[in-house]
Amino acid sequence: MDSHGQYEQRVGWAVVGTAIGPLLLAATRDGLVNVVFHATDEVRDTALGRLASRLGTEPVEEPGHPVLAEAIRQLEAYFAGERQAFDLPLDWSLISGFNREVLRELAGGVPFGTVVGYGDLAGRVGQPGAAQAVGTTMGANPLPVVVPCHRVVESGGGIGGFGGGLETKRRLLALEGVLPEPLF
């Protein structure tokens, strides 16, 4: 508690190596709050600065944080082909409104090995004309991989965009058996 009797926000972070490169994971006492692709030192430092600004506290490296340790275990199992769903507490505080509604539907309604179109996902949250807004939401997803925005594709069969890069999206979809593994 701080001097005013309020619980201070604490943010722990760790970097985990994966088949798609290093991921920065951050967690609060409420759950996993952020996953960041391509967590080189520069990307990590920028992401941690943004988190400090948004959450009002300086993140501390804490790979033993219970949520982070479990997230690392589950991500390792996912990339080893041993896990198809994540069972982690999630802290949704970095996203709200329509974006949160879409991401919650995505997390619970689009299982491993399946994909959904941007427009279909918009329809699932009662906004059938909001395909473009769903695309924007995917780009704002603070919890990629765990909240599987890689499973959202264009209705015409195109792969769509991806904040982690199209090659990362292809690799995640190949891991889930949706696309063939790239030849090289």
Q: Of these residues, 23, 143, 149, 172, which one is catalytic?
A: 149
User: How far is residue 75's CA from residue 62's CA, in Å, rounded to a whole number?
Assistant: 17
Instruction: Give the side-chain half-sphere CA count within 13 A for 93.
Output: 16
Structure tokens at 105: 């539907």
pLDDT at 3: 44
Q: Which stretches of 29-147 are assigned E, i.e. beta strand?
A: 31-36, 60-61, 116-117
Q: What is the pLDDT along the chain (184 residues), one digit of tens a residue?
A: 444 444 567 999 999 999 999 999 999 999 999 999 999 999 999 999 999 999 999 999 999 999 999 999 999 999 999 999 999 999 999 999 999 999 999 999 999 999 999 999 999 999 999 999 999 999 999 999 999 999 999 988 788 889 899 999 999 999 999 987 655 4
Active-site annotation holds for 24: no
